[in-house]
Structure 1
Amino acid sequence: MRSRYSAFSIGDADYLLASRHPSKRSSESRESLEQSFSNTRWCGLKIVSCRNGGLGDTAGEVEFAAFYRHDENLGQLHERSRFVYENNQWLYCDGDMLPALKLGRNDACWCGSGRKIKKCHPES
């Protein structure tokens, strides 16, 4: 999951396509990805929960919230993603979109600064 987030952050469409399960790839995926790179800046990742995905497992699930700026507006992608392990690689299959996480002013900031949200990003 973290590697896919990093690939989104740096705009690596090749990695994102290669780490997606072959049954879920489509021809317009590259265009969609590259279009999203131009006006989205990924700011932080919060892993909410992980199920399975350990040594010997062939399937896993990760719930995460990814924070981004799009046209200077702050946004959040909250998803429960499903992965399978095939050919010595974890591959993204699909995910369920979830309602945005409610973050309190006294929670640690999503950007990883170690500061409280109210001090770091009060507009969040």
Structure 2
Amino acid sequence: MNKCHCGRERSYDNCCAIIHKSILKAVTAEDLMRSRYSAFVLADGNYLMKSHHSSTRPLKEKKSIVAWAKSVNWIRLEVLSAIEGLENDIKGTVEFKAFYFENNKVECIHENSSFIKENGHWVYLGEV
């Protein structure tokens, strides 16, 4: 079995694909963050927009985000910490490192991300 793109020890079909089909299946902020990483790997712009808070959603940049996501080779995701963001919380933060290969070198996005619930499900608000 291949691990999910997000690094969990399950197949994509039994992990992030479930959340990509129904965002309500993201029980925690970390679940949503991991599903967003998988969406970057898959260059799924629609999911990236849907999982982004309405007040900070970069609709005009959707095409360039998808083009960039397709242009790099994603290596792995490391979740460093999660504060709050559990099923019964309304907000949380997740610190992560996302590694990718671009222009013949390994790059890293290191972010402490803020997540909140909007319309009853987790969404990405932005960097803390």
**TM-score when normalising by structure 1:** 0.72
Give yes or no for the alignment of 1:6 onto 2:31. no
Bigger RCO of structures 1 and 2 (CA < 8 A, at least 6 apart): 2
**Structure 2: tracts of 5 or more residues without a match:** 1-32
RMSD across aligned C-alpha pairs, in angstroms?
1.2
User: Could you tell me which residue of structure 2 aligns to residue 52 of structure 1?
Assistant: 84
Give yes or no for the alignment of 1:26 onto 2:58. yes
Are the structure 2 counterparts of residues 56 and 22 from structure 1 closer, same or farther at C-alpha, using a change threshold of 3 Å? same
Structure 1 segments of 4+ aligned residues over 3 angstroms from their partners: none
More helix by share: 2
8 Å CA contact 2:79–2:96 kept in 1: the answer is yes
Number of residues of Structure 1 aligned to a counterpart in Structure 2:
96
Question: Deviation digits for residues 51-90 of structure 1, max 9, x if unmatched?
Answer: 0011210001000001001133111110000000122311
Give yes or no for the alignment of 1:68 onto 2:126. no
Letter in 1 for 2:124: Y
Q: Deviation at 1:25?
A: 1.6
Question: Deviation digits for residues 11-51 of structure 1, max 9, x if unmatched?
Answer: 10000000000011233221221221232111100000000
User: Could you tell me which residue of structure 2 aligns to residue 84 of structure 1?
Assistant: 116
Q: Which has the larger radius of gyration?
A: 1
**Structure 1: tracts of 5 or more residues without a match:** 97-124
